[in-house]
Amino acid sequence: MKRIFSLLLALLLLALLPPAARAEDLAVESRACLLMEKTTGQVLYAVNEHEQLEPASVTKIMTLLLVMEAIDAGTLGYDDTVTASAYACSMGGSQIWLKENEQMTVHDLLKAVCVASANDASVALAEHIAGSAEAFVEKMNQRAKELGMNDTTFRNPTGLPADGHVTSAYDIAVMSRELILHHPDIRQFTTIWMDSLRNGEFGLNNTNKLIRYYQGSTGLKTGSTDAAQYCISATAERDGMELIAVILKSPTSTQRFESAKVLLNYGFASYGLASPEPPALSLIPVTLGEEAAVAVRMEGDSTILAPREKLGSLEVEIDQEEALSAPVEAGQVVGQMRVVSNGEVLAEIPLAAERSVARLTYWQLLLRCLKTAFLGG
């Protein structure tokens, strides 16, 4: 009876564990962690991923995202000049020692944020974009809401300690993905190991040691305070797949980097991307349509993430409607493409009508019937 009870208890505990954590027991030394693949956004491993914790300077990923969005929207330029305010210069912590009214380009301030985690540079950029740090924080929280970052509340653009300034490993991965997926130009800054500002007078050394020591490292942002301990959102790319490894509240700086490497190594060793090409998609006949048939297209990207051992056995199956009745709308789902490995369905991708086909009017139908009867087609 005791053995049965012990077995039931073990099964119950197993059921309560996060699915990703059950699959593997990785040696990650942190309070929370998460591994995400960039293209698909799929989570590969996670522990306490929604626990609200202080992110320290990993906060600056959102600051960088808003800056890059402004640049890509054309409302801000790399060569624009920013004038440092007294408030920006008062930040303390990691900084490039801006002086009040000192001017620096957006390009150089971005470099300072990405490489040296400069708090003064972050606030200078925030004020330049939104008029004040407070207004910029409103933009940060609004953007977080839009991205579904439900565990997050920002109080400043820097990550300096502030009551209620919290996020989660999952939310950090989400904003990291948004930055590197849609604004890849950020790499020109996040991959710098050593550089300088002010015509070489002020040296910069990247706070992210993985940039120099981890193969394929592309960024992204470190952070540390007494309360947050040591944090990082680390990105790396190999064989066309980029991963995001988030570590929160690691006891030491070394453990932070080693834990990120554990996650990245696991992801690169275990998973890969594939983009199966569909066979030629046949036209679908349309009953009572102004056109006799409609072409079919694949809806969205066919890129899938799969365990490496299954990448060599991928097959594509097509299941689409044999016929349609007009009217047909462009984008109307008419079937699906399945990616299969040894009978297991790994992905289902919708197939859609390529264009709209209107229904014949009564007079068009009558004319067609007459044409068929008297002319034979």
- Our answer to whether residue 270 is catalytic in this structure is no
Query: Catalytic pick from 30, 38, 60, 221?
Result: 60
Q: In whole angstroms, what separates CA 368 from the centre of its chain?
A: 53
- Our answer to whether residue 356 is catalytic in this structure is no
Answer yes or no: are the C-beta atoms of 319 and 338 closer than 8 Å: yes
170, amino acid identity: Y
Contacts of 350 (CB under 8 A, 6+ apart): 298, 299, 300, 333, 335, 336, 337
Show the tokens assigned to 17: 């564990």
How far apart, in whole angstroms, are the C-alpha atoms of residue 283 and residue 50?
46
Query: Catalytic pick from 30, 38, 57, 233?
Result: 57
333-341 and 314-320 strand pairing: antiparallel
Query: Catalytic pick from 30, 85, 94, 117?
Result: 117
Other Cβ atoms closer than 10 A to 93: 16
- Our answer to whether residue 57 is catalytic in this structure is yes
Other Cβ atoms closer than 10 A to 322: 8
Answer yes or no: are the C-beta atoms of 257 and 210 closer than 8 Å: yes
What are the catalytic residues? 57, 60, 117
